[in-house]
């Protein structure tokens, strides 16, 4: 499964090369034109039979960390790349740099913590990475300042429907786009795989210019908050209820005519869907909507529980339905 390969590869924001390579190899034979821009965004153009141009967009990068400093005792001080809840970090297994040097995020043992330290969230600067070395010199044999750090977590199924992995946001989107590009549609497709979404939609800030698509559909992984202890009215999305369609989020207001095409298509083809309920957070649509002289955007997302963690969880049926929904929408654009 291509989704599994994409999730198991590492592509922290600014280091998307390996993801780009997988995508390139998967699609280069099925598209008419393929190129990479200065920032690293990958563009694939697939000609159709009519003159409508639909931009599809997914980001290649994932959240992670970067090596900030190697301390005298060999421990590594790090900074996060993208939004990560520091409460989830202690004792997590990680991989550093190209060589995938394994390490563990360490913290001062509980019996040495003050009462204040025990009751407060441990901040990133009070955590360190332990790769089993005892001195700065020894650590520097394996690790350099600026090396990227990824969660060490592989794609696996918890049940036959529920899958767990790091980086599901947004390898689900990349995977949907790859599968779409292997099919033929009446409309022309401009697929854009962007870089550095997690650190401020940076790839997308340039990706929307000069393409002049009729519509842009952003395929994302988004927060599912349907977990124990949360009131139902605070569920942003729920697992198993199908792709989430955004009306408004912190970055963009979806084009109404495009949203109604998507909703009609879902209803006509009996594809289960939900509306994304929260209006906070953002994605590449925030930049694409206001690129050039304005682009009509919409966002379709696969709900992910525990997003931005080593163990994001999706329902594979939501993934399949997201793919199906994008397919039917594209096939109905005349």
Please pick, from the candidates 234, 264, 267, 268, the single residue that binds another protein as defined by CB under 8 A: 234
Candidates 18-26, 49-57, 137-145, 251-259; binding stretch for another protein (CB under 8 A): 251-259
Please pick, from the candidates 4, 277, 328, 332, the single residue that binds another protein as defined by CB under 8 A: 277
Can you spell out the DSSP letters for 137-181? HHHHTT--TT-EEEE----EESSSSEEEES-HHHHHHHHHHHHHH
CB of 283 within 8 A of CB of 254?
A: no
Candidates 4-12, 33-41, 80-88, 228-236; binding stretch for another protein (CB under 8 A): 228-236
Q: What does residue 156 show for φ and ψ, rounded to 5 degrees?
A: -155, 160
**Which two tokens mark 120?**
């407060």
Contact between 238 and another protein by CB under 8 A: the answer reads no
Candidates 77-85, 99-107, 248-256, 299-307; binding stretch for another protein (CB under 8 A): 248-256
Nearer to another protein, 79 or 248 (CB): 248
Q: Cα–Cα distance between 301 and 244 in angstroms, integer?
A: 5
**Which is catalytic among the residues 179, 197, 198, 220?**
197
| Number of CB atoms found within 10 A of residue 93's CB | 12
CB of 298 within 8 A of CB of 254?
A: yes
Coil, strand, or helix at residue 170?
Answer: helix
Coil, strand, or helix at residue 224?
Answer: coil
Q: Cα–Cα distance between 5 and 1 in angstroms, integer?
A: 7
Please pick, from the candidates 107, 278, 317, 331, the single residue that binds another protein as defined by CB under 8 A: 278
- Please give the residues from 287 up to 326 whose contact with another protein meets the rule CB under 8 A: 289-296
Please pick, from the candidates 154, 161, 248, 268, the single residue that binds another protein as defined by CB under 8 A: 248
Contact between 261 and another protein by CB under 8 A: the answer reads no
**Which two tokens mark 197?**
């979404």
- Please give the residues from 21 up to 60 whose contact with another protein meets the rule CB under 8 A: none
**Interface with another protein by CB under 8 A: which residues?**
232-235, 247-248, 251, 253, 255-256, 275, 277-280, 289-296
């Amino acid at each position: 499964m291509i989704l599994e390969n994409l999730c198991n590869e590492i592509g922290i924001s600014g280091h998307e090369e390996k993801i780009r390579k997988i995508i390139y190899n998967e699609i280069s034979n099925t598209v008419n034109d393929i190129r990479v821009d200065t920032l690293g965004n990958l563009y694939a153009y697939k000609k159709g039979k009519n003159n409508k141009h639909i931009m599809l967009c997914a980001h290649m990068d994932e959240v992670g960390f970067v090596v900030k400093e190697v301390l005298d005792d060999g421990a590594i001080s790090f900074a996060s790349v993208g939004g990560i809840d520091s409460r989830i970090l202690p004792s997590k297994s990680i991989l550093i740099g190209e060589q995938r040097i394994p390490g563990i995020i360490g913290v001062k043992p509980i019996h040495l913590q003050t009462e204040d330290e025990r009751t407060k969230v441990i901040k990133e600067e009070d955590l360190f990475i332990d790769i089993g070395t005892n001195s700065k010199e020894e650590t520097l044999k394996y690790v350099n300042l600026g090396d990227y750090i990824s969660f060490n977590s592989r794609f696996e199924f918890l049940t036959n429907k529920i899958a767990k992995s790091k980086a599901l946001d947004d390898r689900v989107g990349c995977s949907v786009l790859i599968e779409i590009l292997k099919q033929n549609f009446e409309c022309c497709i401009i697929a854009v795989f962007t870089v550095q979404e997690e650190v401020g939609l940076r790839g997308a800030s340039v990706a929307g210019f000069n393409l002049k698509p009729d519509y842009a559909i952003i395929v994302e992984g988004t927060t599912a908050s349907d977990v124990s202890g949360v009131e139902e009215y605070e569920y942003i999305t729920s697992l198993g209820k199908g792709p989430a369609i955004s009306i408004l989020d912190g970055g963009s207001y979806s084009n109404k005519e495009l949203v109604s095409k998507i909703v009609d298509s879902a209803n006509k083809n009996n594809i289960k869907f939900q509306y994304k309920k929260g209006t906070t957070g953002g994605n590449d649509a925030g930049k694409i909507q206001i690129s050039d002289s304005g682009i009509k955007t919409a966002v379709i997302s696969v709900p992910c529980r525990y997003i931005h963690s080593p163990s994001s969880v999706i329902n594979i049926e939501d993934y399949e339905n997201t793919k199906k929904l994008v397919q039917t929408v594209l096939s109905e654009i005349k």
